[in-house]
Amino acid sequence: MNKLAVLVIVVIALLVFFLCRSTDDTSEISGVIDQMVEAGEKGMQGDLMEHVSIEYKDDYGASYLVVKNVVENFFQKFSKFDTDYKNLAVSIDNSENGDKTAVANLDIHIIGYRSGTPVDILGSEDSYQNITVELKKSKLLGWKITKAEGFENIIEEGI
């Protein structure tokens, strides 16, 4: 009878594990974005960059190092940041090689403060900037941004 009870407990534990785990949970992507916003607002450049993949490559030719340099420049030019986003839509899928990928689209407004003066970096209070980010899930490191679109204004204006 003890063997049967142990077997039932093991089967129930496996069912709970496979049925209750949060695969494809879009709240994970929201969490990544929230962590990046918090890192930016707290001036923690390293924590912000932690969510960008070393494999980052976008349509503008930017790589991880380019993104890192742009972020460093912003942290040098501005003493603090306020960020607000809305209308987050996430689509999660499996790539051809079995990795989990996600595409997140959102509207964002980022304000930087230079000598106490607010400067719209991306979007404005009345017109949020629409951006799209692609992410890949690593088994060890979690979700990382591999590509982004909608940041042209930052590069063009040379803030």
Residue 113 within any structural domain of the chain: yes
Residue 141 within any structural domain of the chain: yes
Range of the structural domain that residue 45 is part of: 24-154
In the chain, the amino acid numbered 58 is: D
Evaluate whether 136 touches 100 at the Cβ level (below 8 Å). yes
Residue 10 within any structural domain of the chain: no
Q: What is the pLDDT of residue 91?
A: 93
Q: Determine the average pLDDT of the residues in 141-150.
A: 94
80 CB-contact burial (10 Å; exposed 0-12 / middle 13-18 / buried 19+): middle
Domain count, the chain: 1
Higher pLDDT, 3 or 58: 58
- Ramachandran assignment for 123, one of left (phi > 0), alpha (psi -120 to 50 degrees), beta (any other): left
- Decide if pLDDT at 156 tops 50: no
Helix (H) or strand (E) segment spanning residue 94: strand 80-94
What is the CATH classification number for the domain harbouring 49? 3.10.450.50
Residue 106 within any structural domain of the chain: yes
> What is the Cα–Cα distance from 150 to 59, expressed in whole angstroms?
11
